[in-house]
Amino acid sequence: PVPAAAAAGEDSPVEGGPPDHSYSLSSGTTSEELLRKLNEQRDIIALLEVKMKEMKGSIRRLRLAEAQLREEIREKDRLLHAASAGTRKRHGL
């Protein structure tokens, strides 16, 4: 009987050895398998690079939004301070 993983075309563990993960190589790996694994790794790296660029863009937008919010808070604090100072003057405090 053929193990289910082998029947499905997946890597199966070497007998008595650790499981064969997509990032590990067995001693009998063919050049075709090496090329396939290399291409898979390149695809993964390309996807990660795209995600990193997206995340950098998100971080940049969040920093801009934070700076704008901080400026709004400073302006509101300034207005509140000016209003409270004006109120104190009118009441002789």
pLDDT for 86 equals: 77
pLDDT, mean over the chain: 81
Which residues neighbour 3 within 8 Å (Cβ) at sequence distance 6 or greater? 12
Mean pLDDT confidence for 22-46: 87
Q: What does the alpha-carbon distance between residue 10 and residue 76 come to, in Å, rounded to a whole number?
A: 62
Mean pLDDT confidence for 14-39: 74
pLDDT tens figures, 67-86: 999 999 999 999 999 998 87
Task: Classify residue 15 by its DSSP letter.
Answer: T
Spell out the alpha helix ranges (H) of the chain.
Answer: 4-7, 31-90
